[in-house]
Amino acid sequence: MLTLLALVPIIVLVVDLVVFRRNIVITATAVAILTVAIALVGWRIDPMVIPGSASKGALVALDICVIILGALVFLNLMRSLGIIDAIEFHLGRVSGDSRVQLILLAWLFGSLIEGSAGFGTPAVIVVPLLVFIGYPPVFSVAAALVGNSVNASFGAVGTPVRIGFGELATPAVVAATGWLGALMCVFVPVLLLGMMTARLREGPGFFLDALPFALFSGIATAVPFYLASFVGIEFPSIMGSLVAIALVFAVRRVSFLMPKEVHSIKERSLEEPERGMASIIMPYVLLLSLLVLARYVLPSVGVPLPADLTHSINLFNPGLVLLLVAGIMMLWYRVTRGTAREVAEKSVRSLARPALTILIIVTMMQVMINSDQNALNIDSMLFYAFTNIRNVALPAIAPVLGAFGSFVTGSVTVSNLTFAVAQAEAAEVVGYPVMVILALQIIGATGGNTISIPNIMAAQAAGDMEGQENDILRATLPWVGAYLALVILLGLVMLGLLAAT
């Protein structure tokens, strides 16, 4: 009975958005009230958990909104300076094929940002670029979110492993995660190509023509991704994407593995833009450098909240770095006060609706997480939803549970913090290798992260869209299902290989 009650808010949220396609603010508010009612009546939580969870939810939402604001200011400034026009022009010179451009941006560039920053930053950077060069807005968000999947396992210089697994992050667990993640790296560019083929309703020839390039992009990422996992958890996502970008540019020069027929979704301008390659590269080199530096330099500060809850305010916030880079660019290009004010006002206006939705959703999730403070001395609502995982189906349950955790919380790290210990204990009881089950947990979590409401709202805001979260969720869900199905299949193969040895 309690398991069903714990699942009710999530079921209502998904069905209301995907099936009935209701307004997300109204749905989120109703589901939040339902969650509080279930927590008070079914779990008999300490009433102080409500204001404590609301306070923590507000601080978490603030973190997310700062990232969105930073990305909006950065991208609106890039537009006003003509740098986005230059990106479109020079990307067309690399390849005029829309399939190649999609993989370059959503997979390779997004993975590089994920490795450096994480926290949903890749999608909010990539989506506006995809929209600007001609991809449909809903597809752009879905593709950017799916592209920002497996590399989140070692995203933000290894945070999901270092913080999420903690003492469970043994060399064996890291190696298993590196191996499973590398296999999924091969698959994700192919998945993106499949998404585009389906969206444009093209035939098999469209898919097969670009398949060699997609596979090469995945393999070029997978090999350094796996090898870097032995060097340190900070490096797989960064090194995998950097090496792959270099290799892709190398094969492009000799036209090796490139599509034979060029497919364009937007006619490319032949007029050389005012901004050259240096103007494109400089902001992103500065951004990536400061992101990596800030990750190691800036500390976290603990804040006490009601009901003995705490929140760790991480002074490293990618949004603050984006704002800093935007400020440096304004000084470098001598942006006028009028232009700066216009950029700021447009960015703040685009943030209002997503900020409200994220606040409500995150507060609801915090109530579910903190409902373990109750008079019945039982686990939280979030944990109770998957209370019976100690059975032979654990290899299939583990990635789904990881995906559920990141879908609910919007974080691979928090999903690991919530479920990793339980997954490890279940593996020992049932008799499965802990390293494989934890690898399935984190790689599954990277799939669920692509459909979390906070990430969808952030990406939608960056793409200057409003009210399309239902369509985005519907467009992304089938591909996340395919992603998780492959994770389960590869996990079973890993278990089979280990049993054979």
Query: What pLDDT was estimated at residue 268?
Result: 60
Question: Considering the chain, what percentage of its residues have pLDDT values greater than 70?
Answer: 97
Query: What pLDDT was estimated at residue 328?
Result: 95
pLDDT 10s digits, 402-414? 998 899 878 898 8
Between residues 276 and 131, which one has the greater pLDDT? 131
Between residues 464 and 285, which one has the greater pLDDT? 285
pLDDT-derived band at 199 (thresholds 50, 70, 90) equals very high
Amino acid at 453: I
Range with the lowest mean pLDDT among 21-25, 137-141, 238-242, 342-346?
21-25
Overall domain count for the chain: 1
pLDDT 10s digits, 302-329? 888 887 788 777 777 888 888 999 999 9
Distance between CA atoms of residues 247 and 335, nearest Å: 37
* H or E element at residue 302: strand 300-305
Which phi and psi (to 5°) does residue 352 adopt? -55, -55
Query: What pLDDT was estimated at residue 228?
Result: 93
| Phi-psi category of residue 480: left, alpha or beta, with phi > 0 → left and psi -120 to 50 → alpha | alpha
- In this model, does residue 454 exceed pLDDT 80? yes
Q: Which residue has the tokens 């232009």?
A: 339
The string of DSSP codes covering 38-65 is HHHHTS-B-TTHHHHHHHHHHHHHHHHH
Highest mean predicted confidence (pLDDT) among 152-161, 197-206, 277-286, 459-468: 197-206
The C-alpha angle with vertex 148 and arms to 145 and 154, in degrees rounded to 5, equals: 145
Smallest Cα–Cα separation from 320: which of 41, 74, 485? 74
- The pTM for the full model equals 0.85
* H or E element at residue 313: strand 309-314
Q: Which residues contact 334 (CB under 8 A, 6 or more apart)?
A: none
403 in Cβ contact with 440 (< 8 Å): no
Which phi and psi (to 5°) does residue 309 adopt? -85, 160
Strand, coil or helix: 425:
helix
Q: Domain range for residue 193?
A: 2-500
CA distance to 4, 20, 179, per residue, from 15 (Å) = 15, 7, 35
Q: Locate 455 and state its tokens.
A: 């990430």
Tell me, what DSSP letter sits at residue 267? P
- In this model, does residue 181 exceed pLDDT 90? yes
Where helices occur in 371-433 by DSSP H, the ranges are 381-384, 394-409, 412-430
- In this model, does residue 172 exceed pLDDT 60? yes
Average pLDDT taken over every residue of the chain: 88
pLDDT 10s digits, 88-126? 777 777 788 899 999 999 999 999 888 877 767 788 889
* H or E element at residue 97: none
Smallest Cα–Cα separation from 438: which of 231, 184, 178, 240? 178
Amino acid at 471: D
Query: What pLDDT was estimated at residue 389?
Result: 67
pLDDT-derived band at 387 (thresholds 50, 70, 90) equals low
The string of DSSP codes covering 7-24 is HHHHHHHHHHHHTS---H
Q: Locate 329 and state its tokens.
A: 């660019």
pLDDT 10s digits, 220-274? 999 999 999 998 888 899 899 989 988 988 888 777 888 999 888 876 655 677 7
Instruction: Read off the pLDDT of each residue in 434-447 and give the average, rounded to a whole number.
Output: 97
Query: What pLDDT was estimated at residue 385?
Result: 67
- In this model, does residue 388 exceed pLDDT 70? no
Question: Considering the chain, what percentage of its residues have pLDDT values greater than 90?
Answer: 47
Instruction: Read off the pLDDT of each residue in 335-339 and give the average, rounded to a whole number.
Output: 93
Between residues 321 and 184, which one has the greater pLDDT? 184
477 in Cβ contact with 18 (< 8 Å): yes
Burial 207-243 (b: 16+ CB within 10 A, else e): bebbbebbbbbbebbbbbbbbbbeeebbbbbbbbbbb
Smallest Cα–Cα separation from 175: which of 220, 237, 115, 227? 227
Which phi and psi (to 5°) does residue 22 adopt? -80, 165
Q: Report how far apart the first and last C-alpha atoms of the chain are (Å, whole number).
A: 42
Query: What pLDDT was estimated at residue 325?
Result: 92
Query: What pLDDT was estimated at residue 269?
Result: 56
Strand, coil or helix: 253:
helix
Q: Which residues contact 268 (CB under 8 A, 6 or more apart)?
A: 88, 89, 92, 96
Instruction: Read off the pLDDT of each residue in 344-355 and give the average, rounded to a whole number.
Output: 86
Query: What pLDDT was estimated at residue 91?
Result: 73
Smallest Cα–Cα separation from 175: which of 147, 153, 146, 201? 153
222 in Cβ contact with 182 (< 8 Å): yes
pLDDT-derived band at 432 (thresholds 50, 70, 90) equals very high
Tell me, what DSSP letter sits at residue 304? E
- In this model, does residue 206 exceed pLDDT 80? yes
